[in-house]
Amino acid sequence: MPTEYTQLVAALKALTQGETPNTVTLPMAENEWNTRPDADSYGIVALDFEADALHGDDIKCATAYEGSVDLFSRKKDGDGWISLICGALTDHCDGAWSLNSHMYERETGLFHWEWTFQIEG
């Protein structure tokens, strides 16, 4: 695992310790093997694939991994987690992130934000 990614995951998991909008914590699942947290708002962070790589002299010199952060919330405003997640991404991804999509699931009544980020491995 790239160290920057582990730092990002730690930061996302630590979101609950700092100044939070309320005392409720944001359950955060890391990658697909964890079970889904059962809560009003929860997040998922995962590394998805290798986005790009720099090769030199038959050796892989640098790699960029692309990952995503998903926030599911029953609240329209994301329960205040949006700005906190954006802050964590800015701190750990050097600004190489973007809000990829924002959707509403009619069946479950959940709002879904998806951020993608790239991290050097």
Which one among 5, 8, 26, 72 touches another protein, defined by CB under 8 A?
72
The span of 3-11, 18-26, 84-92, 97-105 binding another protein (CB under 8 A) equals: 97-105
Which one among 39, 114, 120, 121 touches another protein, defined by CB under 8 A?
114
Check binding of 103 to another protein (CB under 8 A).
yes
Which one among 40, 48, 77, 94 touches another protein, defined by CB under 8 A?
48
DSSP codes joined into one string, 17-67: TSS-SSSS---EEETTTSPPP-SSEEEEEEEEEEEEEEEETTEEEEEEEEE
Check binding of 62 to another protein (CB under 8 A).
no
Quote the CA–CA distance of 97 and 66 in Å, as a whole number: 9
CB of 91 to another protein, least distance (A): 23
Quote the CA–CA distance of 19 and 9 in Å, as a whole number: 18
Which structure tokens are listed for 112?
């879904």
CA geometry: angle 45, 28, 90, nearest 5 deg: 55
List interacting residues with another protein (CB under 8 A): 32, 35-36, 48-52, 66, 68, 70, 72, 100-101, 103, 105, 107-108, 110, 112, 114, 116
